[in-house]
Amino acid sequence: MVKEPSFDIPVIFFPVCRSADKKLPTIVLGNGYDGSIEEMHHQYGAGILERGWNVLCYDGPGQICARRYQGIGFTHEWETVVSPVLDFLETAPIVNMNIDGLYNLMGIPVFDAEKGLARYSGVQDFAAAEKVFTDPGVLTTARWPLSHGLWAFKVRTPADVLYFVADAADDHLFKGQPEATRDAWGDKAH
């Protein structure tokens, strides 16, 4: 557990070996809004370990452990989560911190963190799906993305937050959806 003033960051560190004589590169895995640190090990970590790299998995605010046990929703200041995790890694004697790394803080660009969140491949159908809560003909699996999002972000309605909507390059699955999302959200979308 990495302790921060306003929240704790659950971490699981999987070393390739426990010998302090051998400093190895490490991959830090953080999941999306519906994934857990345990499943990260099974999905990606085991394969990374087999290739000779250490693995550290973590849950930030809004993710499973932090949301369930600390009651905190997602933060758009993701650097407040990733920085302490990297600081923690610097204290591990078996981690090689002297190699270059590519940090992609969920792909979130710098923007006014007091006013909203970033949403990539903004899918209009999910954003406008409030009606699925009241339609008994809609499958539970179709209602889940919206209800889980409300829980993870700790909000009552999708309209409680501003949205930054980006269009993924060459996205062939949701072509035109980010524009439709932006138009539907009006002044709340950026």
CB 129 within 8 A of CB 146: yes
How much is the pLDDT for 150? 78
Range 96-107 average pLDDT: 46
Supply the pTM of this predicted model. Answer: 0.58
Tally the C-alpha atoms within 13 A of residue 19's C-alpha that lie toward its C-beta: 4
Range 108-127 average pLDDT: 39
Range 87-92 average pLDDT: 84
Identify the residue with better confidence: 106 or 17. Answer: 17
Separation of alpha carbons 59 and 43, rounded Å: 15
pLDDT in tens, 152-162: 778 877 666 65
Beta-strand pair 163-166/117-120: parallel
Query: Where do the structural domains in the chain lie, given as residue ranges?
Result: 2-90, 117-188
